[in-house]
A and B are shown apart, each in its own frame.
Chain A
Amino acid sequence: MRFKHLLIAISASSFAPSAFAQASGPGGSPGSDTIDVGTVTVTAIGTTKNVRKIGYAVSQVQGKGLVSSGESGVIQALTGKASNVQITRSTGDPGSGAYIQIRGQNTITGSNQPLIVVDGIPVSNSSLGGGVDGVVQQSRLNDLNPSDIESVEVLKGAAAAAVWGTRAANGVIVITTKKGKRGMSIEFSSTYAIDQVNREYEKQGTFGQGAGGRWVANNANSWGDRIALRSGSDSINAAGARFVADDGTVYGTIVRKGDRTVYNDKNREQVFRNGITWNNNLSISSGNDKSNMFFSLSDWNQQGIMKGLSDYRRTTARLNFTQNINDKLTVGLNASMAKIISNRVQMGSNLDGLYLGYLRTAPDFDNSDHKGTYYSAAGVPKFNAHRGYRRYLGDAAPTYNNPGWTLNEQTNTSDVSRFILTPEVTYKWRENQKLIARLGHDMSTDRRITYFPVNSAANQANGAFTDDNIQESESSLHFINQGNHKLSSDINLNTTFGYLYTYKNFYNIGGTASQFIIRDQDRFAFINSTTENKDPFNSFSELINNRVYGILDFDIKDKIFLQLTGASEASSTYADRFFSPSASLAYELTKDVKPSNLLSYAKLRLSAGRVGVAPPAYIWNTNYVAAGSSSGWGDYLDGSLYGGSIYRSSTQGNPDIKPEMKTETEIGADLKFFKNKLSLGFTYYQNKIEGAVLAIAVANSTGYANQWKNAADLSNKGFEVDMNLSLIKSDNFNLNLYGNLGTNRNMVDNLNGAAPIFLAGFTGTSSRAVEGHAMGALWGGKFAKDENGKMILDADGFPTASAEEGVIGDPNPSWRGSVGLNGNYKNLNFNLLVETCQGNQMWAGTYGVLNNFGVTPETATEFTVSAADAANIVDYRGVTLATAAAAGANGLASVNADGSITARGSLKDFGSGNVWLNQYWYTSLGGGFGSVAEQFIKDASWTRIRELSLSYALPKSWSDAVHIPGGISVGFTGRNLALWTKFEGLDPETNLTGVSNGRGLDYFNNPGTKSYLFNIKFNL
Chain B
Amino acid sequence: MKKISYILSFALALSVGFTSCKKDIKEINKNNPGQFSDSDPTLMISGAQLANVLVNEGEAARLAGIFSGHHVGWDRQFVSYNDYVMTAGDFNTPWGNLYTEGIAQCRIIRAKAAKANNKQLNAVACITEANLLLTASALWGDIPDSEACTEGISSPKFDKMSDVHMHAIALLDSALSYGANHANFSGAYVGNHNWAQVANTLKARAYLRMKDYTKASAAATSGIAAGKDLLADHSQATPGAWNLYYDFLDWNRAGYISASGSHMQKLLDSSSFFRNNAKTDESDRYAYYFLEDYYTPLDPNIDNGIFAATNNFAIVSYVENQLILAECAIRNSDFNAALTHLNNVRADNATNIGGQYDAYVSADFGPGQMVPGTDANEAIKKEILVEKYTSLYGQIEPWCDLRRTNNLIGVVPNKGTKLPQRFLVPQEEINANKNAPAAGDLFAPLELFP
Contacts and interface: CB of A to CB of B under 8 A. Distances in A.
B372 interface: no
A804 B80 contact: no
B87 A781 contact: yes
A459 B43 contact: no
A637 B240 contact: yes
B141 to A, nearest CB: 14
B54 A805 contact: no
A923 B18 contact: no
B93 interface: yes
Contacts of A929: 76-77, 79-80
B351 interface: no
A540 interface: yes
B241 A641 contact: yes
A764 B85 CA distance: 13
The 7 closest A-B pairs by CB, nearest first: A627-B47, A703-B104, A755-B431, A638-B240, A634-B252, A703-B149, A699-B433
A276 interface: no
A700 to B, nearest CB: 4
Nearest to B92: A763
Nearest to A539: B34
Interface stretch (B220-228, B243-251, B389-397, B400-408): B243-251
Interface of A: 220, 328-329, 399, 425, 427, 435, 437, 458-459, 477, 479, 499, 501, 503, 514-515, 532-533, 538-544, 546, 570-573, 575, 617-618, 620-621, 623-625, 627-650, 697-705, 753-756, 763-764, 781, 800-805, 852, 923-925, 929-931
Given A501-B15, A701-B429, A701-B433, A931 B90 contact: yes
Contacts of B252: 458-459, 633-635
A702 B26 contact: no
A627 B101 contact: yes
A544 B25 contact: yes
A648 B102 CA distance: 11
A538 B32 CA distance: 12
A704 B28 contact: no
B101, B155, B255, B433 — most chain A CB neighbours (10 Å)? B101
Interface of B: 4, 7-8, 11, 14-15, 18-19, 22, 24-39, 43-48, 50-51, 53-54, 58-59, 75-77, 79-80, 83, 85-90, 92-101, 103-105, 107-108, 143-144, 148-150, 153-156, 187-188, 233, 236, 238-242, 244, 247-248, 251-256, 295, 424, 426-434, 436, 438-442
Contacts of B44: 627, 645-648
A573 B25 CA distance: 8
Contacts of A399: 254-255, 295
Contacts of A637: 50, 53-54, 188, 240-241, 244
A701 B99 contact: yes
A923 to B, nearest CB: 5
Contacts of A638: 239-241
B100 A705 contact: yes
Contact of A624 (B35, B104, B242, B438): B35
Contacts of B11: 425, 437
B428 to A, nearest CB: 6
A60 to B, nearest CB: 32
Contacts of B440: 803
Contacts of B430: 804
Nearest to B28: A572
Nearest to A505: B28
A642 B189 CA distance: 9
A650 B101 contact: yes
Interface centre among A699, A800, A852 (most CB of B within 10 A): A699
A631 B94 contact: yes
A700 B59 contact: no
Contacts, number: 304
Nearest to B47: A627
Given A637-B240, A641-B236, A631 B58 contact: yes
A533 B54 CA distance: 21
A480 B319 CA distance: 80
A618 B36 CA distance: 11
Contacts of A923: 79
A514 B239 contact: yes
Given A477-B18, A538-B34, A629-B101, A701 B50 contact: no
Contact of B85 (A698, A705, A801, A852): A801
Nearest to B52: A629
B43 A634 contact: no
A804 B87 contact: yes
B144 A701 contact: yes
A275 to B, nearest CB: 33
Nearest to B243: A635
Contacts of B236: 532, 641
25 contacts: A501-B18, A501-B19, A572-B25, A621-B31, A623-B36, A624-B39, A625-B36, A627-B47, A629-B51, A629-B58, A637-B240, A640-B240, A642-B50, A647-B43, A697-B431, A700-B96, A701-B99, A702-B154, A705-B96, A753-B434, A764-B77, A801-B80, A804-B439, A805-B88, A925-B83
Given A539-B34, A634-B251, A698-B432, 19 more contacts: A220-B75, A570-B22, A629-B51, A631-B248, A634-B252, A642-B188, A645-B47, A645-B50, A699-B154, A700-B99, A701-B433, A702-B99, A702-B154, A703-B104, A781-B87, A803-B441, A923-B79, A929-B77, A930-B79
Contacts of B438: 804
A544 B87 contact: no
B37 A458 contact: no
A803 B438 CA distance: 9
Contacts of B98: 700
A702 B35 CA distance: 22
B324 to A, nearest CB: 27
Contacts of A640: 240
Contacts of A546: 19, 25
Q: Which of A458, A514, A544 has the most CB of B within 10 A?
A: A544
Contacts of A632: 59, 92-93
Given A638-B241, A699-B433, A702-B149, A618 B85 contact: no
A631 B244 contact: yes
A642 B46 contact: yes
A629 B85 contact: no
A427, A539, A641, A800: most-surrounded residue (chain B CB, <10 A) = A641
Contacts of A700: 95-96, 98-100, 426, 428-429
A698 B19 CA distance: 39
B431 to A, nearest CB: 3
B159 to A, nearest CB: 11
Nearest to A803: B439
A635 B86 CA distance: 21
B433 A801 contact: no
Identify which of A427, A625, A645, A930 gathers the most chain B CB atoms within 10 Å of its CB.
A645
A639 B98 CA distance: 16
Contact of B45 (A625, A645, A925): A645
A381 to B, nearest CB: 22
A532 B239 CA distance: 9
A869 to B, nearest CB: 25
Contact of A645 (B43, B53, B143, B247): B43
B25 A931 contact: no
Contact of B87 (A617, A627, A634, A802): A802
B432 A924 contact: no
A632 B253 CA distance: 11
B161 to A, nearest CB: 15
Nearest to A920: B79
B427 A805 contact: yes
Contacts of B107: 703
Contacts of A459: 239, 251-252
B75 A629 contact: no
Contacts of B97: 629, 631
A466 B103 CA distance: 34
Contacts of B148: 701-703
B389 to A, nearest CB: 24
